[in-house]
Protein backbone atom coordinates (compact mmCIF):
# COMPACT_ATOMS: atom_id res chain seq x y z
CA UNK A 1 0.00 0.00 0.00
CA UNK A 2 2.68 2.51 1.01
CA UNK A 3 4.76 1.70 -2.06
CA UNK A 4 1.77 2.10 -4.40
CA UNK A 5 0.83 5.45 -2.87
CA UNK A 6 4.43 6.63 -3.20
CA UNK A 7 4.69 5.45 -6.82
CA UNK A 8 1.47 7.15 -7.85
CA UNK A 9 2.21 10.40 -6.01
CA UNK A 10 5.73 10.53 -7.49
CA UNK A 11 4.35 10.02 -10.99
CA UNK A 12 1.78 12.79 -10.55
CA UNK A 13 4.32 15.21 -9.09
CA UNK A 14 6.33 14.74 -12.24
CA UNK A 15 3.29 15.52 -14.41
CA UNK A 16 1.69 18.35 -12.45
CA UNK A 17 2.52 21.99 -13.01
CA UNK A 18 1.88 22.68 -9.30
CA UNK A 19 0.75 20.79 -6.21
CA UNK A 20 -2.91 21.09 -5.17
CA UNK A 21 -4.25 22.42 -1.89
CA UNK A 22 -7.83 21.20 -2.32
CA UNK A 23 -9.11 17.88 -3.65
CA UNK A 24 -12.51 17.60 -5.31
CA UNK A 25 -14.42 14.43 -6.15
CA UNK A 26 -16.67 15.53 -8.99
CA UNK A 27 -19.52 13.16 -8.31
CA UNK A 28 -23.02 13.57 -9.63
CA UNK A 29 -23.99 17.23 -9.70
CA UNK A 30 -20.51 18.72 -9.85
CA UNK A 31 -19.45 17.89 -13.41
CA UNK A 32 -19.90 21.50 -14.53
CA UNK A 33 -17.38 22.67 -11.93
CA UNK A 34 -14.61 21.36 -14.18
CA UNK A 35 -15.47 24.05 -16.75
CA UNK A 36 -14.60 26.76 -14.20
CA UNK A 37 -11.11 25.44 -13.52
CA UNK A 38 -8.38 27.43 -15.29
CA UNK A 39 -4.79 26.54 -16.23
CA UNK A 40 -6.19 23.06 -16.79
CA UNK A 41 -4.07 19.97 -17.08
CA UNK A 42 -5.85 16.65 -17.64
CA UNK A 43 -4.39 13.25 -16.78
CA UNK A 44 -6.45 10.17 -17.82
CA UNK A 45 -6.77 7.49 -15.15
CA UNK A 46 -5.38 4.83 -17.48
CA UNK A 47 -2.07 6.71 -17.57
CA UNK A 48 -1.72 6.83 -13.78
CA UNK A 49 0.10 3.93 -12.09
CA UNK A 50 -2.05 1.87 -9.70
CA UNK A 51 -5.23 3.87 -10.44
CA UNK A 52 -8.54 2.02 -10.99
CA UNK A 53 -10.82 2.92 -13.90
CA UNK A 54 -14.37 4.29 -13.55
CA UNK A 55 -17.03 2.11 -15.21
CA UNK A 56 -20.23 4.02 -14.42
CA UNK A 57 -22.15 5.92 -17.10
CA UNK A 58 -21.82 9.67 -16.53
CA UNK A 59 -18.47 9.34 -14.77
CA UNK A 60 -15.45 10.37 -16.81
CA UNK A 61 -12.05 8.98 -15.93
CA UNK A 62 -9.44 11.68 -15.50
CA UNK A 63 -7.72 13.92 -13.01
CA UNK A 64 -8.01 17.64 -13.61
CA UNK A 65 -5.30 19.87 -12.17
CA UNK A 66 -5.72 23.63 -12.23
CA UNK A 67 -6.92 26.72 -10.39
CA UNK A 68 -10.40 27.54 -9.18
CA UNK A 69 -10.81 31.08 -7.93
CA UNK A 70 -7.03 31.29 -7.63
CA UNK A 71 -6.89 28.17 -5.46
CA UNK A 72 -4.81 25.19 -6.63
CA UNK A 73 -7.12 22.18 -6.98
CA UNK A 74 -7.01 18.55 -8.01
CA UNK A 75 -10.36 17.26 -9.24
CA UNK A 76 -11.37 13.65 -9.85
CA UNK A 77 -13.73 13.51 -12.82
CA UNK A 78 -15.13 10.07 -12.15
CA UNK A 79 -15.08 8.21 -8.84
CA UNK A 80 -14.93 4.53 -7.95
CA UNK A 81 -17.70 2.59 -6.24
CA UNK A 82 -17.71 -0.54 -4.11
CA UNK A 83 -20.56 -1.96 -6.22
CA UNK A 84 -18.33 -1.89 -9.31
CA UNK A 85 -16.37 -4.72 -7.74
CA UNK A 86 -13.46 -2.75 -6.33
CA UNK A 87 -12.10 -3.43 -2.88
CA UNK A 88 -12.44 -0.57 -0.41
CA UNK A 89 -8.71 0.16 -0.57
CA UNK A 90 -9.07 0.65 -4.34
CA UNK A 91 -12.15 2.85 -3.94
CA UNK A 92 -10.29 5.11 -1.52
CA UNK A 93 -6.81 4.92 -3.05
CA UNK A 94 -7.10 8.35 -4.77
CA UNK A 95 -7.72 9.99 -1.38
CA UNK A 96 -4.48 8.47 -0.07
CA UNK A 97 -2.67 9.88 -3.10
CA UNK A 98 -4.24 13.32 -2.56
CA UNK A 99 -2.87 13.35 0.99
CA UNK A 100 0.59 12.38 -0.27
CA UNK A 101 0.42 15.32 -2.71
CA UNK A 102 -0.37 17.79 0.08
CA UNK A 103 -4.16 18.11 -0.17
CA UNK A 104 -5.60 19.40 3.11
CA UNK A 105 -9.29 19.77 2.24
CA UNK A 106 -11.58 17.44 0.28
CA UNK A 107 -14.88 18.50 -1.31
CA UNK A 108 -17.22 15.66 -2.32
CA UNK A 109 -20.57 15.50 -4.11
CA UNK A 110 -23.05 12.75 -4.87
CA UNK A 111 -26.59 11.94 -5.92
CA UNK A 112 -28.81 10.63 -3.13
CA UNK A 113 -32.31 9.45 -2.49
CA UNK A 114 -34.17 11.55 0.04
CA UNK A 115 -36.44 10.21 2.76
CA UNK A 116 -36.80 13.40 4.77
CA UNK A 117 -40.40 14.62 4.17
CA UNK A 118 -39.15 18.22 4.01
CA UNK A 119 -36.98 17.47 0.98
CA UNK A 120 -37.90 18.14 -2.64
CA UNK A 121 -36.48 16.75 -5.86
CA UNK A 122 -33.40 18.72 -6.84
CA UNK A 123 -32.65 19.99 -3.33
CA UNK A 124 -29.02 20.42 -2.33
CA UNK A 125 -28.15 18.82 1.01
CA UNK A 126 -25.11 19.66 3.07
CA UNK A 127 -23.97 16.43 4.70
CA UNK A 128 -23.61 16.88 8.45
CA UNK A 129 -22.85 13.26 9.36
CA UNK A 130 -23.15 9.76 7.97
CA UNK A 131 -24.29 6.26 8.87
CA UNK A 132 -21.99 3.62 7.40
CA UNK A 133 -23.86 0.52 6.20
CA UNK A 134 -21.23 -0.69 3.74
CA UNK A 135 -20.36 -4.38 4.30
CA UNK A 136 -16.60 -3.69 4.24
CA UNK A 137 -14.78 -0.94 6.15
CA UNK A 138 -12.05 0.96 4.28
CA UNK A 139 -9.74 0.82 7.32
CA UNK A 140 -10.14 -2.93 7.83
CA UNK A 141 -6.83 -4.77 7.97
CA UNK A 142 -3.32 -3.70 8.86
CA UNK A 143 -3.02 -0.06 9.92
CA UNK A 144 -0.06 1.92 8.63
CA UNK A 145 0.80 4.55 11.22
CA UNK A 146 2.31 6.64 8.44
CA UNK A 147 -1.21 7.03 7.04
CA UNK A 148 -3.19 7.58 10.24
CA UNK A 149 -4.06 6.27 13.69
CA UNK A 150 -5.62 2.84 14.23
CA UNK A 151 -8.85 4.24 15.72
CA UNK A 152 -9.67 7.64 14.15
CA UNK A 153 -12.24 9.92 15.78
CA UNK A 154 -15.23 10.50 13.47
CA UNK A 155 -16.95 13.08 15.66
CA UNK A 156 -16.23 15.92 13.23
CA UNK A 157 -15.93 13.93 10.00
CA UNK A 158 -17.73 16.68 8.09
CA UNK A 159 -15.80 19.68 9.30
CA UNK A 160 -18.05 22.04 11.31
CA UNK A 161 -16.20 25.21 10.27
CA UNK A 162 -16.44 24.32 6.58
CA UNK A 163 -20.13 23.52 6.96
CA UNK A 164 -20.77 26.89 8.60
CA UNK A 165 -19.00 28.58 5.71
CA UNK A 166 -21.12 26.69 3.17
CA UNK A 167 -24.35 27.63 4.96
CA UNK A 168 -23.37 31.30 5.03
CA UNK A 169 -22.42 31.35 1.34
CA UNK A 170 -25.61 29.54 0.31
CA UNK A 171 -27.63 32.14 2.19
CA UNK A 172 -25.71 34.96 0.50
CA UNK A 173 -26.30 33.41 -2.93
CA UNK A 174 -29.98 32.73 -2.24
CA UNK A 175 -29.52 28.97 -2.73
CA UNK A 176 -31.82 26.63 -0.79
CA UNK A 177 -29.51 24.33 1.17
CA UNK A 178 -30.87 21.49 3.23
CA UNK A 179 -28.79 19.76 5.89
CA UNK A 180 -28.87 16.13 6.87
CA UNK A 181 -27.36 12.73 7.57
CA UNK A 182 -26.20 10.58 4.66
CA UNK A 183 -26.64 6.80 4.80
CA UNK A 184 -24.00 4.94 2.79
CA UNK A 185 -24.97 1.55 1.31
CA UNK A 186 -23.35 -0.93 -1.05
CA UNK A 187 -25.82 -0.72 -3.98
CA UNK A 188 -26.21 -1.01 -6.90
CA UNK A 189 -29.97 -1.46 -6.46
CA UNK A 190 -32.08 1.49 -5.50
CA UNK A 191 -33.80 1.15 -2.15
CA UNK A 192 -37.07 -0.61 -1.44
CA UNK A 193 -39.84 1.43 0.24
CA UNK A 194 -39.22 -0.43 3.50
CA UNK A 195 -35.48 0.24 3.32
CA UNK A 196 -36.17 3.94 2.85
CA UNK A 197 -38.40 3.93 5.94
CA UNK A 198 -35.77 1.99 7.89
CA UNK A 199 -33.02 4.45 6.95
CA UNK A 200 -35.26 7.31 8.05
CA UNK A 201 -36.03 5.55 11.34
CA UNK A 202 -32.34 5.14 12.21
CA UNK A 203 -31.64 8.82 11.61
CA UNK A 204 -30.94 9.21 7.90
CA UNK A 205 -32.12 12.00 5.64
CA UNK A 206 -30.65 10.75 2.36
CA UNK A 207 -29.10 7.53 1.09
CA UNK A 208 -26.50 6.78 -1.56
CA UNK A 209 -23.82 4.36 -2.75
CA UNK A 210 -20.64 6.42 -2.36
CA UNK A 211 -18.87 9.11 -0.32
CA UNK A 212 -18.68 7.36 3.07
CA UNK A 213 -15.56 5.30 2.24
CA UNK A 214 -13.69 8.33 0.85
CA UNK A 215 -14.67 10.45 3.85
CA UNK A 216 -13.50 7.83 6.35
CA UNK A 217 -10.11 7.60 4.65
CA UNK A 218 -9.85 11.38 4.38
CA UNK A 219 -10.47 11.73 8.12
CA UNK A 220 -7.97 8.95 8.81
CA UNK A 221 -5.46 10.89 6.71
CA UNK A 222 -6.06 14.19 8.50
CA UNK A 223 -7.91 15.82 5.60
CA UNK A 224 -10.86 18.13 6.31
CA UNK A 225 -14.07 17.22 4.47
CA UNK A 226 -17.01 19.14 3.03
CA UNK A 227 -19.70 17.10 1.26
CA UNK A 228 -22.97 17.70 -0.57
CA UNK A 229 -25.79 15.58 -1.99
CA UNK A 230 -28.26 16.36 -4.72
CA UNK A 231 -31.62 14.82 -3.83
CA UNK A 232 -32.41 13.07 -7.10
CA UNK A 233 -35.25 10.84 -5.96
CA UNK A 234 -37.59 10.48 -2.99
CA UNK A 235 -38.51 7.27 -1.19
CA UNK A 236 -40.44 5.88 1.76
CA UNK A 237 -43.62 7.70 0.81
CA UNK A 238 -46.88 6.64 -0.80
CA UNK A 239 -47.24 6.15 -3.70
CA UNK A 240 -43.73 4.83 -4.32
CA UNK A 241 -42.18 6.65 -7.31
CA UNK A 242 -40.25 4.66 -9.90
CA UNK A 243 -36.51 5.38 -9.92
CA UNK A 244 -34.00 4.94 -12.75
CA UNK A 245 -30.39 5.95 -13.36
CA UNK A 246 -31.57 8.13 -16.23
CA UNK A 247 -34.02 10.01 -13.99
CA UNK A 248 -31.32 10.47 -11.34
CA UNK A 249 -29.01 11.97 -13.97
CA UNK A 250 -31.77 14.24 -15.28
CA UNK A 251 -32.55 15.72 -11.86
CA UNK A 252 -28.85 16.04 -11.07
CA UNK A 253 -28.20 17.89 -14.32
CA UNK A 254 -30.98 20.37 -13.53
CA UNK A 255 -29.45 21.03 -10.09
CA UNK A 256 -25.87 21.28 -11.35
CA UNK A 257 -25.75 25.06 -11.87
CA UNK A 258 -26.73 25.69 -8.23
CA UNK A 259 -24.32 23.09 -6.88
CA UNK A 260 -21.50 24.37 -9.07
CA UNK A 261 -22.05 27.99 -8.05
CA UNK A 262 -22.16 27.13 -4.36
CA UNK A 263 -19.08 24.89 -4.32
CA UNK A 264 -17.07 27.27 -6.48
CA UNK A 265 -17.79 30.14 -4.08
CA UNK A 266 -16.90 28.03 -1.05
CA UNK A 267 -13.56 27.02 -2.58
CA UNK A 268 -12.75 30.60 -3.54
CA UNK A 269 -13.36 31.56 0.09
CA UNK A 270 -11.08 28.89 1.56
Q: Identify the three-state secondary structure at position 29.
A: coil
Structural domain including 253 reads 2-268
What is the 3-class SS of 171-189, one letter each residue? HHHCCCEEEEEEEECCCCC
Residue pair 127/228 in contact (Cβ under 8 Å)? The answer is yes
How many domains are there within the chain? 1
Nearest to 248 by CA among 126, 109, 127, 111: 111
- pLDDT per position as a tens digit, 18-63: 899 999 998 876 777 888 888 999 999 989 999 987 655 544 688 9
Going residue by residue through the chain, which has 270 residues, state the pLDDT in tens, using 9 for 90 and above. 899 999 999 999 999 988 999 999 988 767 778 888 889 999 999 899 999 876 555 446 889 999 988 899 999 988 889 998 999 999 999 999 999 999 999 999 998 999 999 998 889 999 999 999 999 999 999 999 999 999 999 999 999 999 999 999 999 999 999 999 999 999 899 899 899 999 999 999 999 999 999 999 999 999 999 999 999 888 766 656 666 667 667 777 788 889 889 999 999 888
The torsion of the CA quartet 150, 151, 152, 154, rounded to 10 degrees, works out to 150
- List pLDDT tens digits, range 240-254: 666 666 766 777 778
Helix, strand, coil percentages for the chain (3-state, nearest 5): 35, 25, 40
Against a cut of 0.75, is the pTM above it? yes
Q: How many residues does the chain have?
A: 270
Q: Where residue 182 sits, what CATH number does that domain have? A: 3.40.50.1580
Amino acid sequence: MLQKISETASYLRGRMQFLPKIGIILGTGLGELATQITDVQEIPYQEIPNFPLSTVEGHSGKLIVGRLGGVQVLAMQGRFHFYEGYAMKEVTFPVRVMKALGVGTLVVSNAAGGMNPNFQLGDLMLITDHINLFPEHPLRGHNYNELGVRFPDMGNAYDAALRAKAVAIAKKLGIRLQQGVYVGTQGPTFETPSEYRYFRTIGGDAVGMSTVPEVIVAVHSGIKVLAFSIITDLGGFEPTPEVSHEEVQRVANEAQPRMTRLVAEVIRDL
